[in-house]
């Protein structure tokens, strides 16, 4: 079985195609294709509250290209999800209708709580029942924070803070304060000091620069050292010397500031950076829905 997920974010739109393998009777998802295109819809929405005509046209062309690849891979099922920028855009329904009419593609606008749940699907296999965790996913327009006592999620919340919001001066002081107060309040219910789990494109890039990841965790001190190292370079140097994509070069610092704030509030000492994302969660939920539907049809027969 082959499944695909499209994530239309505030900074970029991404396509992932995965095959579903069976290992000892359990599903394993193998990534076959990944494409990322920097639309930066958040620039439009966080400054003018709507997606521009130019970016809407670009999105339609991009989804058309993604659909061609999905068809070439002979994908069994796919889902297109849009997050923070789409949630806030006043013209979102108009664009959803145009995409449906022109391409026969349905865009599902994901609420903050659902986004957190999709990311949970991507990371739950990493959890140890004897440990506590603070998970943070930072996107262009929103940040999802969840706390776990072992395998149990005890609290989760989405905040209107993201790298592109900060770049566009759309991050309200109240949002920062609410996020910090919420984390400080919720961490008291954890039985011990949490391990950090950080997801999102910016933290994965930082982990690459720091030569850390899931097997070799980042310390908060190392995270902030690498942040200062990146900040010591101009935008041009980040692109040419550090080999960051142009749309990553300006967004990575505000994103890291969010990660750092969350970790400090949560009392985190080390951070795991797994190579998983919202797309993995979308694909896993899609797979479960297909299996449930297949099981229901079989039992009915």
Mean pLDDT, to the nearest integer, of 165-178? 90
- The predicted-structure confidence for 29-55, as pLDDT tens digits, reads as follows 999 999 999 999 999 999 999 999 999
The pTM score is 0.89
Same domain, 222 and 86: no
CA distance 103 to 106: 9
Average pLDDT along the chain: 92
Same domain, 85 and 177: no
- The predicted-structure confidence for 148-159, as pLDDT tens digits, reads as follows 999 999 999 999
What CATH code is carried by the domain that includes residue 68?
A: 3.30.420.40
Same domain, 150 and 270: yes
Same domain, 218 and 179: yes
DSSP code at position 250: T
What CATH code is carried by the domain that includes residue 239?
A: 3.30.420.150
Same domain, 97 and 138: no
**pLDDT for position 145:** 96
Q: Is the pLDDT of residue 214 over 70?
A: no
**pLDDT for position 213:** 57
Contact predicate 85/12, CB 8 Å:
no
Classified as helix, coil or strand, 58 is helix
Mean pLDDT, to the nearest integer, of 207-224? 82
**pLDDT for position 296:** 56
CA distance 6 to 78: 8
**pLDDT for position 291:** 85
Same domain, 104 and 205: no
Domain count, the chain: 2
Which run of H or E residues covers position 173? helix 173-186
Q: Is the pLDDT of residue 166 over 90?
A: yes
Same domain, 154 and 84: no
Q: Between the CA of residue 133 and those of 130, 208, 263, 270, 271, what are the distances in Å?
A: 10, 22, 11, 10, 10
**pLDDT for position 25:** 79
Same domain, 132 and 84: no
Instruction: Tell me, yes or no, whether 20 lies in a domain.
Output: yes
Same domain, 92 and 162: no
Instruction: Tell me, yes or no, whether 14 lies in a domain.
Output: yes
What domain range includes position 263? Answer: 121-278
**pLDDT for position 157:** 94
């Amino acid at each position: 079985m082959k499944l695909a997920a499209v994530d239309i974010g505030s900074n970029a739109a991404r396509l992932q195609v995965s095959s579903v393998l069976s290992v000892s009777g359990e599903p394993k998802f193998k990534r076959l294709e990944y494409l990322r295109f920097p639309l930066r819809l958040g620039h439009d929405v966080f400054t003018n509250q709507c997606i521009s005509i130019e970016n809407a046209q670009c999105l339609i062309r991009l989804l058309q290209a993604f659909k061609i690849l999905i068809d070439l891979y002979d994908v069994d099922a796919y889902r297109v999800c849009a997050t923070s920028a789409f949630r806030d855009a006043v013209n979102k329904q108009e664009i959803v209708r145009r995409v449906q009419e022109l391409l026969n593609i349905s865009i599902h606008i994901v609420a903050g709580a659902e986004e957190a749940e999709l990311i949970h699907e991507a990371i739950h296999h990493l959890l140890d029942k004897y440990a506590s965790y603070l998970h943070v996913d930072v996107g262009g327009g929103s940040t999802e924070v969840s706390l776990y006592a072992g395998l149990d999620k005890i609290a989760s919340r989405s905040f209107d803070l993201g790298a592109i919001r900060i770049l566009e001066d759309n991050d309200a002081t109240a949002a920062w304060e609410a996020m910090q107060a919420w984390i400080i309040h919720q961490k008291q219910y954890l039985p011990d000091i949490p391990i950090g789990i950080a997801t999102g494109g910016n933290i994965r890039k930082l982990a690459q620069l720091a030569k850390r990841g899931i097997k070799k965790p980042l310390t908060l001190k190392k995270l902030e050292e690498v942040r200062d190292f990146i900040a010591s370079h101009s935008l041009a140097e980040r692109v040419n010397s550090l080999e960051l994509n142009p749309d990553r070069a300006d967004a990575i610092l505000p994103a890291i500031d969010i990660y750092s704030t969350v970790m400090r509030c949560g009392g985190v000492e080390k951070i795991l950076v797994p190579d998983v994302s919202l797309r993995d969660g979308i694909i896993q939920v899609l797979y479960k829905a297909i299996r449930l539907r297949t099981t229901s049809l079989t039992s009915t027969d």
